[in-house]
């Protein structure tokens, strides 16, 4: 019985045809010359650009809104079909932009490869996505973005198994309701064993009240500290203004005496 397989993946040398296209990137129109067949094989977006059914065939295309750094990574991936694991956290920034290119240009494999590189970085470094990385992805993607899911799944684990909630995350979740909902949905998919999750209906309520009191006391102390700083600032401004007025008054009296 014959085995059914998917379409054969073309080798790189089969995609390096003689036809080339010119891509101009960024504000400075950085010029790239790429193999047309390879580019269009990887991306439906570029197929629509360069393989028009009607009219004159384009041999160039401008990407003024893209940055040179991420596009350089795209070209490297285009020919190598691989994205290495980042060395430092700062390397994730260009990778996030590269991922957004994958979404805009409808390149599924690029999205998968970038996400896998990002996943490896967080795993190997034993770290989790920072708030600014998550916010950047949320600001530039739609609700069904796979990168959102990866980020949220990582953060959900941190919030569930971590010691308390970091203040900056608490503020972010209060502002961004969609992020909070996504985290709850991610946790629901875990299908946790009921016995491993505390049941509030069976627990004493006193600890809840005491925790609420502690939080209220902390907030009160923070407000008092802010009020004191504000008062000290106003007092300092008043003393400065009073000193200036006194100096100006003394200068005026001196001028009058000299005139007399």
More confident residue, 213 or 24: 24
pLDDT band at 251 (very low <50, low <70, confident <90, very high): low
**Token digits of residue 118:** 């990002």
At 51 the pLDDT is: 82
- The pLDDT of 47-75, averaged and rounded, is 85
Rg (C-alpha) for the chain, rounded Å, is: 30
More confident residue, 246 or 72: 72
**Token digits of residue 1:** 């019985």
At 1 the pLDDT is: 43
> What are the boundaries of each domain within the chain?
128-219
pLDDT band at 225 (very low <50, low <70, confident <90, very high): confident
For residues 75 and 34, the answer to whether their CB atoms sit within 8 Å is: yes
Cα distances (angstroms) measured from residue 112 to each of 30, 103, 147:
27, 10, 9
pLDDT band at 120 (very low <50, low <70, confident <90, very high): very high
At 193 the pLDDT is: 76
Percent of the chain with pLDDT over 70: 78
Helix (H) and strand (E) counts in the chain: 11, 3
CB atoms < 10 A from the CB of 194, how many? 7
At 3 the pLDDT is: 47
Residues 6+ apart with CB under 8 A from 141: 100, 103, 147, 148
Residue 212 in this model has a pLDDT that exceeds 60? yes
Tens-digit pLDDT profile for residues 11-56: 665 566 778 899 999 999 999 999 998 998 888 999 888 887 655 6
Closest-CA residue to 184 (of 160, 201, 163, 167): 160
At 248 the pLDDT is: 60
Q: How far is CA 170 from the centre of its chain?
A: 17
Residue 210 in this model has a pLDDT that exceeds 90? no
Burial of 75 (0-12, 13-18, 19+ CB in 10 A): middle
pLDDT band at 2 (very low <50, low <70, confident <90, very high): very low
Tens-digit pLDDT profile for residues 134-192: 999 999 999 889 999 999 989 888 888 877 778 888 888 888 889 989 988 888 888 77
């Amino acid at each position: 019985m014959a085995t059914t397989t998917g379409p054969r993946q073309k080798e790189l040398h089969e995609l390096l045809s003689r036809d080339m296209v010119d891509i101009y990137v960024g504000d400075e129109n950085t010029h790239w010359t790429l193999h047309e067949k390879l580019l269009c094989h990887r991306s439906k977006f570029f197929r629509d650009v360069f393989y028009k059914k009607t009219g004159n065939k384009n041999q160039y295309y401008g990407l003024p809104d893209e940055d040179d750094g991420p596009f350089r990574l795209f070209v490297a991936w285009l020919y190598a079909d691989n994205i290495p694991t980042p060395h430092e956290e700062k390397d994730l920034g260009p990778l996030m932009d590269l991922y957004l290119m994958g979404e805009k240009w409808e390149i599924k494999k690029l999205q998968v490869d970038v996400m896998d590189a990002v996943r490896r970085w967080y795993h190997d470094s034993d770290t989790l996505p920072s708030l600014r990385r998550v916010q950047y992805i949320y600001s530039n993607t739609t609700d069904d973005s796979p990168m959102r899911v990866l980020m949220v799944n990582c953060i959900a684990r941190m919030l569930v198994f971590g010691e308390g909630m970091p203040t900056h995350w608490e503020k972010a979740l209060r502002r961004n309701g969609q992020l909070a909902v996504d985290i709850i949905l991610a946790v629901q998919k875990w299908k946790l064993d009921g016995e491993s999750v505390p049941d509030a209906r069976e627990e004493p309520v006193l600890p809840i009240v005491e925790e609420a009191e502690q939080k209220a006391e902390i907030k009160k102390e923070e407000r008092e500290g802010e009020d004191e700083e504000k008062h000290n600032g106003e007092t300092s401004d008043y003393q400065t203004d009073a000193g200036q007025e006194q100096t100006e008054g003394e200068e005026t009296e001196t001028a009058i005496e000299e005139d007399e």
